[in-house]
Amino acid sequence: MNFRLLPEWAEQDAVMLTWPHIDTDWADNLARVEPVYVELAKQITHKQQLVIVAHSEALKISITALLKNAAIDLSRVHFLVTPTNDTWARDHGPLTCASINNPLELNVVDFTFNGWGNKFESALDNQINKSLVKALGDTNNQYQEIDMVLEGGGIEINEHGVLLTTSECLLNKNRNPDLSADEIESLLKSHLGATDFLWLEHGYLAGDDTDSHIDTLVRFAPNNTLVYVKCDDENDEHFSALSAMEKQLKSFKTANNTPYTLIALPWPKAAYDNENTRLPATYANYLIINNAVLVPTYNDINDELALSQIQKAYPTHEIIGINCQPIIEQFGSLHCITMQLPRGFLAGAAQ
């Protein structure tokens, strides 16, 4: 396999946002949610370009006005107008592999998105990548559509090709019921260039619709480092599962048979919606962009500690907190609503 999925800290052209709109579950909360998207747009365009997927021309006009009011440089913003079901770009967005011999030779891999096991309508979102590549992608890039269900939030990969995931998600029968673990590994070696696998058997997040996506629990950082959520409240419903997860992380070994460096993230206080449903607040759901990491915060006493712990994992990056309290009210967070597009993805993006 000549191509490999790039780790998130690889140099990027842009980040993709799929903007919320009145025909989504965000309808009653747009006034609180859109300012978060505007703040994300501001921080992203300070560092690189931004792709915004807009449900309609009318929404594009509305977004443009919001960005202008925030003094955002519109020359760094690219719009794709296409119908959307929802906003979770991490999971319907493209996974981009680069040639091992030439990092600017890209293969854009488009897996099937089925609304996290057919829980939600996803037919429109499942067509976004094809439109994105056609409208904005560099024509030198390869594009591959794969008949396999996989979400970007369900996997992590590092610079050595080690792929990290959870059994609860990738082996769930609501995704690929006819595939065994060995068959899934074989396909991910073929399509994503994975060289080895770490299967996490423990850990979950209440309020999470994704069947334990890895990006809510554990993240790769450079130099064989794992950043993970740690629950230190024995009375919390997550304590047992996350303690078992931590124990398994300590048992993982690198290719050199040495333990991974572990950096624990604090546990935010429990947050609930108006129906007393627990919301999936997690500091692990951060986004790496060029020279910065955007970290979700929750007006919590542990916000500052989370920022300082993530700084340890990415010492050369600027660490920027983004208030994501409105986002978790739809049961996701910052990483879930974004997808990085690596260097060479966009047509004419070189600067």
Residue 349 lies in a domain: no
Residue 270 lies in a domain: yes
Confidence of residue 182 (pLDDT cuts 50, 70, 90): very high
Name the strands in the sheet holding 261-265, side by side, starting at the edge strand that comes first in the sequence.
218-221, 225-229, 261-265
> Which of 146, 151, 132 minimizes the C-alpha distance to 91?
151
Handedness of CA 205, 239, 169, 90 (dihedral sign): positive
Indicate which CATH number applies to the domain containing 180. 3.75.10.10
Residue 290 lies in a domain: yes
- pLDDT, average across residues 209-217: 95
Amino acid type, 67:
L
**Half-sphere exposure for 24 (CA within 13 Å, toward CB):** 23
pLDDT at 103: 86
The number of domains in the chain is 1
Residue 177 lies in a domain: yes
Residue 328 lies in a domain: yes
Render pLDDT for 20-78 as a digit per residue (tens, 0 to 9).
999 999 999 999 999 999 999 999 999 999 999 999 999 999 999 999 999 999 999 99
Confidence of residue 351 (pLDDT cuts 50, 70, 90): very low
Handedness of CA 288, 339, 39, 330 (dihedral sign): negative
Tell me phi and psi for residue 329, to 5 degrees: -70, -15
Residue 223 lies in a domain: yes
The torsion defined by the Cα of 315, 321, 325 and 331, in degrees rounded to 10, comes to: -30
Render pLDDT for 79-133 as a digit per residue (tens, 0 to 9).
999 999 999 999 999 999 999 988 889 999 999 999 999 999 999 999 999 999 9
Residue 350 lies in a domain: no
Q: Which residue range(s) make up the domain with 300?
A: 3-342
pTM beyond 0.75, yes or no: yes
